[in-house]
Amino acid sequence: MVESVAALTPRIASVQLRASLAPHVAGQHLDIRLTAPDGYAAQRSYSIASAPGAELFELAVEKLDDGEVSPFFHEVVQPGDTFEVRGPLGGHFIWRPLDGGPLLLVAGGSGIAPLMAMLRDWAAAADADGAGVPLLLVYSARTWEELAFRDEIAVTAVRHPTLDFVAVTTRGPRVRDGDLTQRLDAASIRALLQGWGHRPHHTFICGANRFVDAVANALLDASVAAGSIKTERYGGA
């Protein structure tokens, strides 16, 4: 059942679901199936943004103008609505606090969703042990306003000195010192890793196909081990 829907950015909505499902691991997703009155059905997979153990499952749904499912969440769905949900699913693109670090998370646009689950799980573990493994979160969008969860991430970085947060705005001005206003490439990735001062033991990249390919190749050029890099992607540039 839909508990709430709220705008995160002009094109990304937070959808909170209450469902009797097994607990999830950070990085997993849900399959959502919508069925029209005439029987036509469409199914899409959405990564879970909420922390493992949270009362509700949070999805970050980006509106696609030609999409069959995403406009429903932005224009039609209301609290109390119900639909078919399956999951949690996925066993490759996951991270648990016991996996350790250093941990590098790189997101493009709505690709922040599974990485938010990882960040929230990381923060809970850091609160418990008083430290937390080093974590660098690099998040790219066109403008500051299009960075979903940006305020939560920034507050988490203030609370936890072992978290470094770099925002990348490719079509808007830099808001904070240390942020970037260019697309991520080999040179910027090398500079970010050098400034961070750690070699990632686990790297997760999520975003559109071209973004993921560019970041993964840049990390390989920076001598990050291929076996430590996991990717999740969706269509588009």
pLDDT at residue 36 in the model: 78
Check whether 4 has a pLDDT greater than 60: yes
- Crossing angle for the helix pair 150-159 and 112-129, to the nearest 10 degrees: 20
- Name the pLDDT band for 128 (thresholds 50, 70, 90): confident
pLDDT of the residue at 187: 95
pLDDT at 236 over 80: no
User: Can you list the positions of beta strands (E) in 48-195?
Assistant: 57-62, 84-89, 103-108, 135-141, 163-169
Q: Say which CATH topology domain 2-89 has.
A: Elongation Factor Tu (Ef-tu); domain 3 (2.40.30)
Q: What is residue 37's predicted lDDT score, i.e. its pLDDT? A: 80
How confident is residue 16, by pLDDT bands cut at 50, 70 and 90? very high
Give the C-alpha distances (Å, rounded to integers) separating 228 from 65, 103, 137, 145, 181: 35, 10, 16, 31, 27
pLDDT in tens, 165-216: 999 999 999 999 999 998 999 999 999 999 999 999 999 999 999 999 999 9
Q: Can you tell me the distance from the alpha carbon of 209 to that of 109, in angstroms, rounded to the nearest whole number? A: 12
Is the pLDDT at 237 greater than 70, yes or no? no
Task: Write down the pLDDT at residue 228.
Answer: 97
Rounded CA separation 110/225 (Å): 26
pLDDT at 58 over 80: yes
* Residue range 136-142: mean pLDDT, rounded: 98
CA-CA-CA-CA torsion for 217, 223, 227, 228, nearest 10 degrees? -90
Average pLDDT in the 77-83 region?
93
**Distance in angstroms (rounded) separating the CA atoms of residues 40 and 37:** 7
Percent of the chain with pLDDT over 70: 99
From 88, 80, 84, 81, select the one nearest 53 (Cα to Cα).
88
Boundaries of every domain in the chain: 2-89, 97-234
- CATH class belonging to 97-234: alpha beta
- Residue 116 pLDDT > 70, yes or no? yes
What pLDDT sits at residue 196?
A: 97
DSSP annotation of 98 reads: G
Strands 163-169 and 202-208, how do they pair?
unpaired
pLDDT tens, position by position, 20-50 = 999 999 999 999 998 878 888 889 999 999 9
pLDDT greater at residue 34 or residue 89? 89
Mean pLDDT of the chain: 94
Would the pLDDT of 235 be above 70?
no
Q: Do domains 2-89 and 97-234 have the same CATH topology?
A: no
